[in-house]
Amino acid sequence: MATAIESPNGNREGAGTREALYDWVADWGAAVTDAISALGDLVVFSSRTMSWLLTRLPRRGTILPNFYQVGVLSLPVVALTGTFIGMVLAVQSYSQFRMLSLETRLGAVINMSLVRELGPVLAATMLAGRVGSAMAAELGTMRVTEQIDALASMGANPLHYLVVPRFLACMFLIPTLTVMADFMGVVGGYFYAVGILGIDKQHYWQNSQDFVGMFDVMSGIFKSIFFGAAIAIISCYRGFNCAPGAEGVGRAATASFVFSFVGILVLDLFLGIFLDSLHNSFWPEGTKLF
């Protein structure tokens, strides 16, 4: 930032302040153009991945290891997440419902919140941290050690070889992991509500069944497909565009989680609106959003 040094006349000082202002505006402008350029780059990256997905099957031996990494190894932690969410929901909602003597409705509240929102979003967030950061770090390390260049120099397309299997793994397995999170959440909520709080078992399930429908469960799974795709694309992109050195790899891993999480939240909002409108158009009841 240029500023005028000792200046005898006011003109020089004025010019200095003006320059400082220009620099400030230019910095903001550069930040905005960089962000837009990065977003554009991400879109190009995604569309190239999609076109590779559609043109050729992934290399044999790349699918199973990725499916194992993303799916099987994430199962325990996702199950744990789901269980605790269910229990926490029970803990938090109980006192309010008890005041209205509606504690038997707890089943409906817990399970509805779980399958529609908390199951998909929190499972995806957990996976953005576990799987997304790992993918970004692994691909980032490959980038800084020139392994990605080596792949390209030997006539293998890095997107096809590295990104497509990870994308498929996330897109197929994150929904199944969401189902696991939902299931364990239901179990956890039931355990706490019925087992510890002493709510009547029959009413708990009956209310849950009355309120929670197939559409609710499917909408949660539908959202989780998009969450999975977003995690894969964002994490792989950050890995591929890693800055040099260990610092670059660390930043790629962190940034992949942060941006995946933001992506999940944004997608959650828009998909929620879309699904809500869809539901209302098929089953027009209650207040419409639009």
Say how far apart CA 186 and CA 191 lie, in whole Å: 8
Q: What is the DSSP string of 61-76?
A: TTHHHHHHHHTGGGHH
Cβ–Cβ under 8 Å, residues 111 and 208? yes
Say how far apart CA 53 and CA 217 lie, in whole Å: 28
Smallest distance, Å, CB 157 to other proteins? 6
Q: How many C-beta atoms surround the C-beta of residue 235 within 10 A?
A: 32
The conformation of residue 105, written as its DSSP 8-state character, comes to G
| Residues in touch with other proteins (CB under 8 A) | 141, 145-147, 149-150, 152-157
From the centroid of its chain, how far is CA 275? 18
Of 22 and 283, nearer to other proteins (C-beta) is 22
C-alpha closest to that of 230 among 128, 151, 161: 128
Amino acid occupying residue 184: M
Of 5 and 154, nearer to other proteins (C-beta) is 154
Amino acid occupying residue 155: G
Of 50 and 156, nearer to other proteins (C-beta) is 156
Smallest distance, Å, CB 242 to other proteins? 15
Say how far apart CA 119 and CA 54 lie, in whole Å: 30
Say how far apart CA 80 and CA 72 lie, in whole Å: 14
Smallest distance, Å, CB 150 to other proteins? 4
C-alpha closest to that of 131 among 64, 58, 74: 74
User: DSSP 3-state assignment of 238?
Assistant: helix
Smallest distance, Å, CB 58 to other proteins? 13
Of 46 and 141, nearer to other proteins (C-beta) is 141
C-alpha closest to that of 116 among 288, 228, 279: 279
Of 155 and 198, nearer to other proteins (C-beta) is 155
Smallest distance, Å, CB 141 to other proteins? 8
Of 69 and 235, nearer to other proteins (C-beta) is 69
Smallest distance, Å, CB 244 to other proteins? 11
Of 226 and 240, nearer to other proteins (C-beta) is 240
Smallest distance, Å, CB 249 to other proteins? 13
